[in-house]
Chain A
Amino acid sequence: MATGQEAAHGPTSGEYIVHHLTHFNSTGHAQQAVIDWSVWNLDTLFFSISLGVVMLFFLIRAASKATSGVPGRFQAAVEILVEMVADQAKGIVHSAESRKFVAPVALTVFIWIFLMNSMDFLPVDLLPKIWAMITGNEHAYLRVVPTADLNGTLGMSIGVLILCLYYNVKIKGLGGWIHELFTAPFGSHPLLYPVNFLMQMIEFLAKTVSHGMRLFGNMYAGELVFMLIALLGGTATVMGFVGHIIAGSIWAVFHILIVALQAFIFMMLTLVYIGQAHESH
């Protein structure tokens, strides 16, 4: 990317990283408070919604052309994904009625997260540079990986939490579920009620936070490593150039695994958590 000609007034390594880790949001400058519900990360929203639409476009195309005859390559690929998700759902969620919604949720989650994670494969400076050229502002912020934004991943994991709560109530009944909240996991005894309830709350919180944080951490770290590698190339030395190529190739190849693996893990945990909501303690 632009390295040599900007050397005179180029950003320092710290500035470069901070710049790349700052969202393009509705305020136009970096968010100050840790939590501020009036701010929207426009880049995360744009890329996640765009990729979601792209996903739906291809899936609906595949669905509308689906025949029981000989499938084409594209149809076969989609079918492999659907079969994989359907098999996993069948093994984890033991309710055919729930699977009608849960399995599509898992498929959506898997493909959507896979696509969002895949944004990491684009050169770290490519879209931000194009964005800077479009806006004419050299310091325009843009982050292209929606899953490297905690809002994106926690949004999805809270979605899964809501589904868990919904199925808890649906399967066990509101009374049954509340009863379970106070009697599981340690047993039904008035003295144990607070402990049980506390444990249940911790469990829900831990599940949801770890669910979202796991994906976010992986993608955030992956993005950061790509930036560090880009900085290595940005030194514009032979060592830096060779190092950039070697490290960049290795990390990109390794990242293919992480991208697919994290999408799969998120999907599997979605199924597992929803499956747990179906089981009585």
Chain B
Amino acid sequence: MNLNATLVAQLVVFFILAWVTMKFVWPPIVKALDERAKKVADGLAAADKAKADLALAEKKVVEELRKARESATDVRAAAEKQATHFLDEARADAARIIAAAREQAEGEASAALQRAKEALRDQVAHLAVAGAEKILRKEINAQAHADLLANLKQELQ
């Protein structure tokens, strides 16, 4: 452990090494580190933004979905209402038509009955007169008894 000129040499070497490091080593590495730190920070910020955007979009989707569901419910309710309405109308129409048809049929039937009754009555009167004529041909003078026959006919009606 003697001291000698090596000490001075080491001193000089120390400064040369330090100077070279300062000049050629430190700046590029620190620059790269700072740049990377900035890149990472930017990347993280972008990721955060993307995450926020995604949350926003999801919220929007939920909102839209809710709206769509609501409007679908409305449409279905309206459709059901309309269907019921149509059905009721159709039912009323049908009832009306049936009633009208029945009324018409009944009217026709009663008219036909009336007609048939009258025809029958006519025929019976004729038959009765014809029968009475045949029976009373000789005894009854048609003209003399015309009033009687007319009365009879009247009664049969």
Write the residues of chain A forming the contact surface with B, with a CB cutoff of 8 angstroms: 25, 31, 33-41, 44-45, 48-49, 52, 55-56, 59-60, 62-64, 66-69, 71, 78-79, 82-83, 86, 100-101, 103-105, 107-109, 112, 146, 149-152, 154-156, 158-159, 162, 216, 220
* Contact A34:B6 (CB < 8 A) given known A100-B22, A104-B21, A104-B26: no
B53 to chain A, nearest CB (A): 26
Contacts of B16 in A (CB 8 A): 52
Q: Is B135 an interface residue (CB 8 A)?
A: no
CB of B122 within 8 Å of the partner chain: no
**Given the known A-B contacts A52-B17, A105-B18, A107-B21, are A45 and B6 also in contact in the complex, defined by CB atoms under 8 Å?**
yes
Beyond A103-B26, A107-B26, A108-B21, whether A31 also contacts B4 by CB under 8 A is yes
Q: A107-B21, A151-B6 are in contact. Are A52 and B29 (CB under 8 A)?
A: no
Task: Give the residues in chain B near A68, CB-CB below 8 Å.
Answer: 32-33, 35-36, 38-39
Task: Give the residue among B3, B7, B11 with the most A Cβ atoms within 10 A.
Answer: B7
B1 CB-CB contact with A under 8 Å: yes
Give bound CA distance, A55 to B18, whole Å.
11
Closest to A212 in B: B7
B30 touches A82 (CB 8 A): yes
* 8 Å CB contact of A159 from B11, B35, B36, B39: B11
Give the residue name and chain of the B residue nearest to A149 (CB).
B6
**B residues 23-37 in Cβ contact with A at 8 Å:** 24-33, 35-36
Which one of A33, A55, A86, A108 contacts B2 once the chains associate, using CB atoms below 8 Å?
Answer: A33
**Which of A55, A62, A78, A151 interacts with B7 by CB under 8 Å?**
A151
Whether the pair B6, A67 counts as a contact (CB closer than 8 A) is no
Is B10 in the interface zone, CB < 8 Å from A?
Answer: yes
Which of B6, B21, B24, B31 gathers most chain A CB within 10 Å?
A: B6
Which of the residues A44, A55, A82, A158 comes within 8 Å of B11, measured between beta carbons?
Answer: A158
A155, B35: Cβ atoms closer than 8 Å: no
B7: A residues at CB distance < 8 A: 150-152, 154-155, 158
Q: Are A40 and B5 in contact (CB under 8 A)?
A: yes
Q: Are B5 and A56 in contact (CB under 8 A)?
A: no
A66 and B28 form a contact (CB under 8 A): yes
- Give CA–CA (A156, B18) in the complex, Å: 11
Nearest CB to that of A155 among chain B residues?
Answer: B10
Distance to closest chain B CB from A30 (angstroms): 9
**Contact of A56 with B30 at beta-carbon distance under 8 Å, contacts A35-B4, A40-B5 already known:** no
Q: Is residue B144 contacting chain A, with contact meaning CB distance below 8 A?
A: no
Give 3 closest A-B pairs by Cβ, nearest first.
A155-B10, A68-B35, A151-B6
Q: How far is the CB of B18 from chain A (nearest CB, A)?
A: 4
Cβ–Cβ < 8 Å partners of A104 in chain B = 18, 21-22, 25-26
In the docked arrangement, what's the CA distance between A152 and B9, Å?
Answer: 9
